[in-house]
Structure 1
Amino acid sequence: MADVVDAATRSRMMSGIRGKNTRPEMLVRKFLHAHGFRFRLHRKDLPGVPDIVLPKYKTVVFVHGCFWHQHGNCRFAARPKSNADFWSAKLGANAARDARVKTELEQLGWHVVTVWECSLSQVELTRVASRILKRER
């Protein structure tokens, strides 16, 4: 099935998708900061360049978009029907990379917390904060 827009328009649309400072990430950061957590952002010296790094708790937080990281059984993680082979390879590679990065971080002694875009609520963010506090040294 052919794309419904021309290549230049599709390129412009895709270039607008950000990897850092996304709205879900900003919500998590705002919540954590308001609850007294201090953190670093996008540390390049750690595998996968985590969205939020809390050195005091030896914890990293990844804020994942359900589509791009293929959140299981999520209505936002549906794969496109057009260009199915491309999307299958692309999204499968993203999920494989996420698993590899999580393993690498855990081997380095970091606790990995994943927050999914679809589950951003006060209750879920409170659970995240609780999981981080359990790691306090």
Structure 2
Amino acid sequence: MDTEKCWVPPAGSWASSAGRRRNMQAIRSRDTKPERLIRRLVHAQGLRYRVGAKPLPDLHRTADMVFRPAKVAVFIDGCYWHGCPEHYVPPKTNSGYWSDKVAGNMARDRDTNQHLVDAGWTVLRFWEHESPERCADQIILTVSSIRRSRDAS
């Protein structure tokens, strides 16, 4: 008996098949390869940070890397999930759901940026396809610069 034909999605599930559900469940929301590469490079330069932490206690959103004393929040955004202008390809199946989902993610990203900036944080966002070395260099430069200016005061 073919399990794909008799598969019934759990209540409230948007999955169109058991295979699609397994595929979607396997997608990481943190500790992705680009995140790990960038973290390794930043850590090797002596910078310490929190992983998957809330920059603001009342904001129910987490950053990929948080430098609390310097007030720097780093996000490494997936091209598909965050609507990369270079690589985002609209889905062919269930396009209404997924297009709305990505648009919602993009709106939430803008809202998160605004909340953090209003609270005095520096927000750094990178796409998963960007060079890990370039991203790490930008993070190191930004955090070091903020620390130097704070120490000089």
Is 2:77 the partner of 1:64?
Answer: yes
The question of 1:24 aligning with 2:37 is answered no
Unaligned runs of 5+ in 2: 1-15
SS at match of 1:70: coil
Deviations 1:85-124 (A, max 9, x none): 1121010000000000110111111110012111124234
Written as runs of structure 1 = structure 2, the 5 A alignment for 1:35-74 is 35-44=45-54, 46=56, 47=59, 48-72=61-85, 74=86
TM-score, reference length from structure 1? 0.87
Q: Does 1:129 align with 2:140?
A: yes
> Does the CA contact (< 8 Å) of 2:76 and 2:127 recur in 1?
yes
| 1:79 and 2:86 matched | no
CA RMSD of the aligned region, Å?
A: 1.8
Quote the offset at 1:45 in angstroms.
6.0
Alignment counterpart, residue 108 of structure 2, candidates 75, 78, 97? 97
Amino acid at match of 2:123: V
Equivalent pairs counted in the alignment come to 131
CA distance in 2, matches of 1:121, 1:41: 16
**Could you tell me which amino acid in structure 2 is paired with residue 25 of structure 1?**
E
Normalization by structure 2: what TM-score? 0.78
Q: Aligned equivalents of 2:62 and 2:52: distance in 1?
A: 5
Which structure has the bigger radius of gyration? 2
Quick one: distance in 1 between partners of 2:72 and 2:54? 15
**Do the aligned partners of residues 62 and 7 (structure 1) sit closer, same or farther apart at CA in structure 2, a change above 3 Å counting?**
same
CA spacing shift, 1:30–1:91, aligned 2, 3 Å: same
Whichever residue aligns with residue 26 of structure 2, its letter is G
Identity %: 34
Answer 1 or 2: higher relative contact order, Cα 8 Å, separation at least 6: 1
What is the rounded CA distance, in whole Å, between the counterparts of 1:125 and 1:45 in structure 2?
A: 19
